Amino acid sequence: MRILKVDSVQMEYQGRKILRDVHLTCKQGEIVGLLGRNGCGKSSLLKVIFGIVKPAYSYVAIDGHAIGKGYHGNQMAYLPQDHYLPKSINIHQLAKFIVDPQLWPSFEQLPIFEICRDKKANELSSGQLRHFETMMVVHSKADFILLDEPFTHISPLQADELKEAMRNCVKTKGIIITDHQYYNILEVSDKLKLLDNGCTKHITDNEQLVSYGYLSGINR
Amino acid sequence: MNKTLTLVWYFYRPVMVVDLIFTAICLVSLLKIGVCFFINTLIIKALGYAAMLFYKNYFGSKTYMFYRNAGYSISRMYVYACSCDLAIYVVIIALLFSFIPQHAHLKG
């Protein structure tokens, strides 16, 4: 079983320490939910892990081997907040470069694939494209998947499809997910971390989200 | 190899027009001035690559994540795209060599 370990991340932005004591582990077969307020550094942390942002200090390792760029050798895949597919190319062709051949049969069965298969990115609605891009990353060859706000811009039905796909794919992968739709994160995560004041706090009881000031109350 | 070439083509396609303009300037200059201008055309090509980099960073940087998720770094994509382009440029010059004046041909 592969383990992703993120330790001692320290990062400043415009003189403000946004990350100063971050510790995170993610095992294959596990979904780690990352919650936090706007601007607390969730996206920055995912970019640091993926290797596209260089912090003052960080230790990111898979199975004890430190890695600089997570995408080298398809070790990690990352869903950014913005659309990332080239616009003028058939997205069925683009998907073949990212989707794991072993997961291709289940990827082909997805309703969103049927809708999008012969289209280009600029021929899809923003929500369809977002859902397709997310599904591509979830079904990618990478051992660890980093998802930045995958539930944004998609319908509740698509959110359910995504959660099911994540549960299917997580058998062979580790997933770190962050989103403001905390109820989806609570539902899908095996382990929960709250990023507060630049530090990660392990959440064992959802009531802690209230006591740490992230939520005003929990709807049951 | 096929996968890499296809990805390089996808990466290069949006900036092809920018690059072709600089290539056309180089070829026309060579045909008008002569082979002695070759080194200068390399400088123009380098400027073309700088323009390509600026254009891509400004208008197409969001697509970088696609190539990273495919397992390729962006600097690697630039190196491959520029190398392919330069190789094609040299082949075109070789094909047009007999039409390029061998001595400087400047109107004074």
Q: What is the pLDDT of residue B108?
A: 55
Question: Does some domain include residue A49?
Answer: yes
Domain boundaries, chain B: 22-99
Partner-chain contact A85 B10, CB within 8 Å: no
Partner-chain contact A78 B3, CB within 8 Å: no
Distance CA A165, CA A195 (A): 26
Identify the sign of the CA torsion B80, B2, A129, A169: negative
What is the CB-side half-sphere exposure of residue A161 using CA atoms within 13 A? 19
Partner-chain contact B62 A84, CB within 8 Å: yes
Question: Does some domain include residue A149?
Answer: yes
B30 has a pLDDT exceeding 60: yes
Distance CA A69, CA A195 (A): 23
- The answer to whether A147 faces chain B, any CB pair under 8 Å, is no
Instruction: With CA atoms as reference, report the closest residue to B45 among B21, B61, B69.
Output: B21
Beta strand A57-62 with A65-66 is antiparallel
Q: Which two tokens stand for residue A51?
A: 């290797």
Range of A92's domain?
Answer: 3-204
* Mutation for testing the B interface, residue in A53, A89, A93 having most B CBs under 10 Å: A89
Q: Are A174 and A145 in contact (CB under 8 A)?
A: yes
- The answer to whether A176 faces chain B, any CB pair under 8 Å, is no
Domain count for chain A: 1
Q: What is the pLDDT of residue B29?
A: 93
Question: Does some domain include residue A131?
Answer: yes
For B2, nearest residue in chain A (alpha carbons):
A97
Q: Tabulate helix, strand, coil % of chain A (nearest 5).
A: 35, 30, 35
Question: Does some domain include residue A212?
Answer: no
Calculate Rg over the CA atoms of chain A: 17
A42 exposure class (CB count in 10 Å sphere: 0-12, 13-18, 19+) = buried
B104 has a pLDDT exceeding 80: no
Among the partner residues B6, B69, B73, nearest to A78 by beta-carbon distance: B69
Other Cβ atoms closer than 10 A to B14: 18
Among the partner residues B3, B13, B66, nearest to A84 by beta-carbon distance: B66
Question: Does some domain include residue A211?
Answer: no
Question: Does some domain include residue A178?
Answer: yes
Local confidence band at B86 (pLDDT 50, 70, 90 cut-offs): very high
B107 has a pLDDT exceeding 90: no
From first to last of its 220 residues, what are the pLDDT tens digits of chain A?
A: 899 999 999 999 888 889 998 999 999 999 999 999 998 999 999 999 999 999 999 999 999 999 999 999 889 999 999 999 999 899 999 999 999 999 999 999 999 999 998 999 999 999 999 999 999 999 999 999 999 999 998 999 999 999 999 999 999 999 999 999 999 999 999 999 999 999 999 999 989 999 999 998 876 5
Interface of B with A (CB under 8 A): 3, 6-7, 10, 13-14, 60, 62-66, 68-73
Q: What is the pLDDT of residue A14?
A: 83
Q: Exposed e or buried b for every residue in A204-220, given b needs 16+ CB within 10 A? A: eeeeebeeeebbeeeee
- The answer to whether A88 faces chain B, any CB pair under 8 Å, is yes
Calculate the alpha carbon distances from A9 to A61, A161, A167 in Å: 12, 33, 28
Question: Does some domain include residue A215?
Answer: no
Q: What is the DSSP letter of A1?
A: -
